[in-house]
Amino acid sequence: MQKKYLQWLIFIVVLLVLLLVAILVSLSAGEVKITAGKLTEIFATKDSIEYTVLTRIRFPRIVLAVAVGGALSLSGAILQGIYRNPLVEPYTLGISGGAALGVAIVMVAGIQLHNYFILPFFGFAGALVTLFLVYSLSVRRAGLSMNSMLLIGVMVSFVASSAMMFLMSLTTADNIQNIVFWVMGSLDEPNSVLIKIAFWSAVAGLIISIFFARPLNALRLGEVKARHLGIDTGTTIKLLFVLSSVLTGIAVSVAGVIGFVGLVIPHLIRLIIGNDYRVLLLGSFLGGAIFLVLSDTLARTVIAPNELPIGVITGFAGGLVFIVVLSRSGSKYKMK
């Protein structure tokens, strides 16, 4: 047991070091070149251009990347544990589709787009409406059906996407461009209040999820066996579903639809350290943060001074890594 805990500690420390390295790389990379050795000097000189670039542009993006990447990866780990299905991710349940539809409605209607809080508010509202709809349609007389919830979530996602395309067919070219850019994801958020909300919500979600580590471990055995171990599976699943949905809704409403984070990262962490949720939750959060910080760095430097949508980077990198890892692990990979 002590050897296992030591392995967990080493693994978390390694992830923290990698996150620090990713942050330093992100602070240094960009159109304005800044070496890591000069960071202390730049922060001490507050009237320089480099200081403005670091504090107004790069550091806020890093904080948002940590929040969004950590929240999406954590949500993916939780949902995969609830459904005992390795293909479930935060966007499978239609949460991203609902958020995107909410944003599309605002853009097409032209509702005060100069207000920084309008788009995130309607995006989060769309995610919550989707959450309520999926949950309501999944509840039967015998209780909550997990399989029905998964299928209904997929269908709701398709319906939301179709509704969004219908709105795009009725609006102007400028609105279509704005909707498409938002759907592809971006961490270029100028409002510091929204960044703080996203960050502290992600941290709070991580802390809350840790208290559910043992119930999630029990759910790996199935709901029946988990109940025999004294777990109130119905309440636990509902609370975890709401937690993961709220985290996803906040992330999507602030940064747009950023795919593959909630699917790929929990897989990688599970293959490296195992299925125990006492380490998997924190590992997934840190892994998602690292992945999105590096992805954002690539997104803003590959074709500088232009910027790629971060969803393009996560799609390419996440998809390729996922295929390679699964092809090498083969039949050794198991959720249980």
Distance from C-alpha of 100 to C-alpha of 110, rounded to nearest angstrom: 15
Evaluated on CA atoms 312, 113, 243, 161, the torsion sign reads negative
Decide which of 225 and 332 is more confident.
225
Q: Are 124 and 250 in contact (CB under 8 A)?
A: yes
pLDDT digits (tens, 9 = 90+) for 22-57: 999 998 887 777 776 677 777 777 777 877 788 888
Residue 98's nearest CA partner among 293, 290, 252, 297 is 252
pLDDT digits (tens, 9 = 90+) for 139-194: 765 566 677 778 888 888 888 888 888 888 888 887 788 788 777 888 888 788 88
DSSP for 142-202 reads TEE-HHHHHHHHHHHHHHHHHHHHHHHHHS-HHHHHHHHHHHT-------HHHHHHHHHHH
The per-residue pLDDT for 94 is 80
Largest separation between any pair of C-alpha atoms in the chain? 65
The per-residue pLDDT for 331 is 46
pLDDT digits (tens, 9 = 90+) for 302-325: 877 778 888 888 888 877 877 877
The per-residue pLDDT for 142 is 53
Residue 131's nearest CA partner among 33, 255, 253, 230 is 253
The per-residue pLDDT for 257 is 84
CATH code that applies to domain 2-332: 1.10.3470.10
The per-residue pLDDT for 61 is 93
The pairing of strands 143-144 and 139-140 is antiparallel
For the segment 219-244, the average pLDDT, to the nearest whole number, is 83
